Amino acid sequence: MSDTKTLDFDRLKHFVEHVYGFLEGGVVSGMIYLGDRLGLYVALRDAGPVTSEQLAQRTGLHERWVREWLRCQAGAKLVDYLGDGRFALSVEAGLVLAEENSPAFAAGGFHSLPQQFAVLERLPEAFKTGRGLPYDAVGIERFLAPWFRTFLVPLVLPALDGVVPKLERGAQVADVGCGAGVALLEMARAYPRSEFHGYDISVHALERAAANQAAAGVSNVAFHDARHDPLPAHGRFDLVTSFDCIHDMAHPDAVMRAVRQAIKADGTWVIADLNAKPTFEENLERNPVVAMMYGMSVLSCMSSALSEPGGAGLGTLGFSEPLAREMTAAAGFTRFRRHHFDNPVNAYYEVRP
């Protein structure tokens, strides 16, 4: 037990407040999830200043629950309280919390909280055995989708050497770690002469991809369960993409070798992954959301990367640029170029044979 004679009570008070701040963040995160799922943010944006009664009527929800949610949102400074029982969503808050096509949209990042928090019940065993949980336990489709919808086709693809003319003429494209297919479907819509193939090992993600394809009405896309229908090894693809998934993979080195065999001699591999620094000290100093990133790693990314025997366990911030250069070179790639797009989360690498 600590020696109370040397205890700094002011420091103790501030540390207690600091810890409760994290609890508050977790609780408010849950309320953001509910606001997104129940359509409260969208209704509040569209209605303008409203009372809890008016918002409840607009959404078909029970007023007492809506009132308490609004008070939480106002206390967290996510929703403006205007007095006289009226609440409103600012223009800026609307872009972040209610506009799914906005590149600033962040509410989608909270939609998997129930699954992620449920994982906590299973993680003590992972800490004991070292074995992680499969990626099907969580999902991040709506967190990543706005950026892909807004910037992938008009900004990223034109920056790649010679890629767009190939896509316009008709190219073979593979998305490795395609998830729910959001990025692949955006490219397929933009380039109907090209043929697109998505590969993933997540059953849940592939089911979502099929549903998204049906909703999009896109026919030049095929999705593959990579466990049973892996990448072909005969240099088929003009373009390969991997978005926010290398750090999640149990065996990224094997995947890189498979991509090298599947890509044409003049092909291009685009890797987007978290903008991680080479060392923990640099991440600690320079990443403003470093605690969240390492926490998400325990809940999802590192866990997925340790879900198979001998898993690499890179984790959310484990795939830095120096490691990306080293691993792609070891897989047989000879050219590596980093692109600097206006993305606060990801680094983009153009890799060539």
Helix (H, G, I), strand (E, B) or coil at 304: helix
Per-residue confidence (pLDDT) for residue 141, from 0 to 100: 57
Q: How far apart are the first and last CA of the chain?
A: 60
> Per-residue DSSP letters for 143-181?
HHHHHIIIIIIIIIGGGSTTHHHHHHH--EEEEET-TTS
Q: Domains in the chain, ordered, with CATH? A: 4-97 (1.10.10.10), 128-352 (3.40.50.150)
What angle (nearest 5°) sits at the alpha carbon of residue 317, between those of residues 314 and 320?
A: 85
pLDDT for 296 equals 84
What is the rounded distance in angstroms from the CA atom of residue 96 to the CA atom of residue 242? 26
Per-residue pLDDT of the chain (353 residues; tens, 9 = 90+): 556 668 888 999 999 999 999 989 999 999 999 999 999 999 999 998 999 999 999 999 999 999 999 999 999 999 999 999 999 999 999 999 999 888 888 898 888 888 888 888 889 998 999 998 876 655 555 566 777 788 899 999 999 999 999 999 999 999 999 999 999 999 999 999 999 999 999 988 999 999 999 999 999 999 999 999 999 999 999 999 999 999 999 999 999 999 999 999 999 999 999 999 999 999 999 998 898 889 889 888 899 999 999 999 999 999 999 999 999 999 999 999 999 987 778 999 999 99
From the list 176, 237, 221, the residue with the least C-alpha distance to 202 is 176
Bridge-based pairing of strands 86-88 and 346-352 is unpaired
Predicted confidence at residue 4, as pLDDT, reads: 61
DSSP for 6-31, please give it: G--HHHHHHHHHHHHHHHHHHHHHHH
Backbone angles phi, psi at 162, to 5 degrees: 75, 10
Please give the pLDDT value at position 148.
Answer: 78
Q: What CA–CA distance (Å, rounded) separates 38 from 18?
A: 31
